[in-house]
C-alpha cells in the first residue's frame, strides 16, 4: 500500500473532505474517554494532506481537558468525521481522520495495521 487520496465525510453529507493517507503507516484505536465513545478508528495526517471540500459552517467544535484536540462534529447528523489539533514537538499540527467515515476504503482499512493506544492513562507510547 502507499499514499492514496480518499474522500469522506459525515452521514448527512454536509461535511465532505479529501485526505491523502498511507494506511500502511498504521492506524490507531484508543481507549480514552472520547475515542471509546465515538468508536473511532483513526489515522493522523498533516494539515497539507487534508482538504475540506464543504461543511466548515456545519462543524461544531467540542473540547475538554487540556483542550488540545478539536473534536469536530456535524451539527446536523452528529458524526465526528475528522478532528484537528496541535501538539508542539510531538505531532505538531495534525488532522485526525475517522477512517469509518471514508468512502470505499473498507478493504484498505481492514488490511492496515492497528495500534491500540492507552489514551485513558494519557500514555501515547
Which residues are near Zn ion by CB under 5 A? 10, 12, 14, 74, 76-77
| Closer residue to Zn ion in complex, CB, 14/96 | 14
CB of 11 to Zn ion, least distance (A): 5
| Closer residue to Zn ion in complex, CB, 37/67 | 37
CB of 93 to Zn ion, least distance (A): 24
- In which order are the strands placed within the sheet that holds 114-117? 59-62, 69-74, 82-87, 92-98, 42-45, 27-30, 114-117
- State which residue has the least CB distance to Zn ion: 74
| Closer residue to Zn ion in complex, CB, 8/28 | 8
Rg (CA), the chain: 14
d(CA 102, CA 32): 22
Amino acid at each position: 500500500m502507499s499514499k492514496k487520496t480518499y474522500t469522506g465525510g459525515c452521514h448527512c453529507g454536509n461535511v465532505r473532505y479529501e485526505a491523502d493517507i498511507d494506511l500502511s503507516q498504521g492506524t490507531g484505536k484508543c481507549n480514552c474517554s472520547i475515542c471509546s465513545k465515538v468508536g473511532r478508528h483513526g489515522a493522523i495526517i498533516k494539515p497539507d494532506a487534508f482538504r475540506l471540500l464543504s461543511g466548515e459552517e456545519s462543524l461544531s467544535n467540542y473540547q475538554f481537558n487540556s483542550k488540545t484536540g478539536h473534536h469536530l462534529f456535524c451539527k446536523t447528523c452528529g458524526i465526528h468525521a475528522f478532528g484537528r489539533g496541535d501538539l508542539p514537538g510531538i505531532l505538531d499540527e495534525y488532522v485526525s481522520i475517522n477512517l469509518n467515515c471514508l468512502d470505499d476504503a473498507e478493504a484498505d482499512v481492514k488490511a492496515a495495521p492497528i495500534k491500540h493506544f492507552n489514551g485513558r492513562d494519557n500514555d501515547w507510547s
